[in-house]
Amino acid sequence: MDCFEVTGGTSLRGRVRVTGAKNSALKLMAAALLASGRTTIEEVPDILDVSIMSEVLRRLGCGVDFQRYTDGRGGGGGRVVVDVPETPSSETDYDLVRRMRASISVLGPLVARCGQAKVALPGGDAIGSRGLDMHVAGLERLGATVRSEHGFLIATAPRLVGTSIWLDFPSVGATENLVMAAVLAEGTTVVDNAAREPEIVDICTMLTEMGARITGAGSSTITVEGVTELHPVTHTTVPDRIVSGTWAIGAVMTRGDVVIERAAPEHLSVALDKLRAAGATVEQVEGGVRVAMAERPTCVDVVTLPFPGFPTDLQPMAVALAAVSTGTALITENVFEGRFMFVNELVRLGADVRIDGHHAVVRGRERLSSAPVLATDIRAGAGLVLAGLCSDGVTEVADVHHVDRGYPDFEEQLRGLGATIERTHRDRER
Ligand code: UD1
């Protein structure tokens, strides 16, 4: 098991470059399945989840080549080339899919392209039930027959036909899967109450470059006019707003001064406003955003919501921020019910947090106190590392393979900002 040993007490200072968003790159790779030939995706993060998606695509018969940038641009990104055969295979293995929920995003493209898909039911982060009912209901509306058997979702559709779909909740994954299925359907599909995340816009942009006819991406009504064929393209992934937000919150928590290169402030408006309310200086600078903090931050309330609301993926960092701020904050989680699980770990660092249903009441402390803690998911792991930077002594964050799923070069990036952090390895039983 890999661990981080984080020494508390340093402010994060300097510049950090952000590569493309994990939550976009994985879906862009899946979208490549919609056209035979070589699709190139730039600014793909060099992370475990991208390796898993590469393997998913390889087992579907694609050639996948990841080349990390060596031009010194930083950020831990690279270029992925996905070479898709005329007839991809349509079955994904359980051993891979259970490791990463985003594997489910091959479902829509495979049904559209092959008329069938057999996709293992996903695993991924332990952050709530994360049903697939909207993916399934939407595909059925498009004319597919979907059944669940022996741990697999099996969808068949000799022909997908455009229709209107109303999502119960603006699910990111369901919106993406349905749009990717609809681009090759016959006729027009309207997805209402669609997710509006920048990653949705990114995927729709790439699909449009591939020849799809999509309007309304970024609004809650997306209209897709089906076409008969798409062609491969070269596309650059949208910058990762969650990684950007992590560095921004880290700068505030440690009373530092960080320029986040390539951060897109328009994708982080609510989060950056919260940091301003906490007392930080947040300004747009050439090529990115600067976040600086001189004093101890003030507690701010946070409510997670689908975009453009405060992102649930930054909620652990918001709780960690409140834990070292002055006053009391109420943090409300509306997207994933299990997302407060990591709070038990934060409490081990001396944080004063009470959970009541989907609310956390956080009373800030001047300083936290180092202890061994466990990363329970990608973002919880990053939040615990930030908390470790604000603790006395050395905090050991274990199970950091979770962090490796989402943050390229995490510890190198932190060291570049002045933090003392080492990766260590130890046996699970000690
Ligand atoms: C994606 C992101 C994740 C982020 C989340 C919300 C990826 C790989 N992951 O996850 O980091 O936290 O968006 O911004 O892009 N739900 C259902 N039925 C469904 C689909 C979803 O009940 O058919 C529920 C989920 O359980 C959850 C909520 O809807 O409570 C939001 O899920 P969704 O937006 O689909 O998140 P993901 O696409 O899984």
Which domains are delineated in the chain?
A: 2-15+240-425 (3.65.10.10), 23-236 (3.65.10.10)
Using the predicted structure, report yes or no on whether residue 354 has a pLDDT greater than 70: yes
User: What are the backbone angles phi and psi of residue 224, rounded to the nearest 5°?
Assistant: -125, 120
Using the predicted structure, report yes or no on whether residue 407 has a pLDDT greater than 70: yes
Residues in the chain: 430
Q: Measured in angstroms, how far is the CA atom of residue 350 from the centroid of ligand 1?
A: 31
Nearest CA owner, ligand 1 atom 28: 335
Q: Measured in angstroms, how far is the CA atom of residue 391 from the centroid of ligand 1?
A: 32
- Nearest 5 degrees, angle CA 29-CA 31-CA 32? 65
Q: Show the ligand 1 pocket: residues with CB < 6 angstroms.
A: 23, 26, 101-102, 128-135, 169, 171-174, 312-313, 335-336
Q: Tens digits of per-residue pLDDT, 110-161?
A: 999 999 999 988 754 444 446 888 999 999 999 999 998 887 889 999 889 9
pLDDT at 123: 55
pLDDT at 262: 96
Specify whether 125 is catalytic. yes
For ligand 1, what atom is nearest to the CA of residue 170?
34
User: Could you give the strand order of the β-sheet that contains 328-332, starting from the edge strand earlier in sequence?
Assistant: 302-303, 328-332, 359-363, 352-356
Q: Which residue in the list 125, 202, 257, 404 is annotated as catalytic?
A: 125
Q: Which residue has the tokens 């570049």?
A: 416
Nearest CA owner, ligand 1 atom 18: 131
Which mutation among 169, 333, 402, 403 tests ligand 1's pocket best, with the greatest number of atoms within 8 A of CB? 169
Known binding residue 22? Answer is: yes
pLDDT at 411: 95
| Closest to 55 (Cα-Cα) out of 99, 11, 121 | 99
Mean pLDDT of the chain: 94
Residues contacting 312, CB < 8 A, separation 6+: 304, 333, 334, 335, 336, 339
pLDDT at 126: 47
Mean pLDDT of all residues in 232-241: 98
Q: Measured in angstroms, how far is the CA atom of residue 130 from the centroid of ligand 1?
A: 6
Known binding residue 335? Answer is: yes
Q: Measured in angstroms, how far is the CA atom of residue 172 from the centroid of ligand 1?
A: 6
Known binding residue 177? Answer is: no
Mean pLDDT of all residues in 76-99: 92
Which mutation among 335, 337, 402 tests ligand 1's pocket best, with the greatest number of atoms within 8 A of CB? 335
Using the predicted structure, report yes or no on whether residue 306 has a pLDDT greater than 70: yes
Q: Does the global pTM surpass 0.85?
A: yes
Q: What percent of the chain has pLDDT over 70?
A: 97
Q: Measured in angstroms, how far is the CA atom of residue 379 from the centroid of ligand 1?
A: 14
Residues contacting 308, CB < 8 A, separation 6+: 196, 269, 270
For ligand 1, what atom is nearest to the CA of residue 337?
30
Q: Tens digits of per-residue pLDDT, 180-220?
A: 999 999 999 999 999 999 999 999 999 999 999 999 999 99
Confidence of residue 33 (pLDDT cuts 50, 70, 90): very high
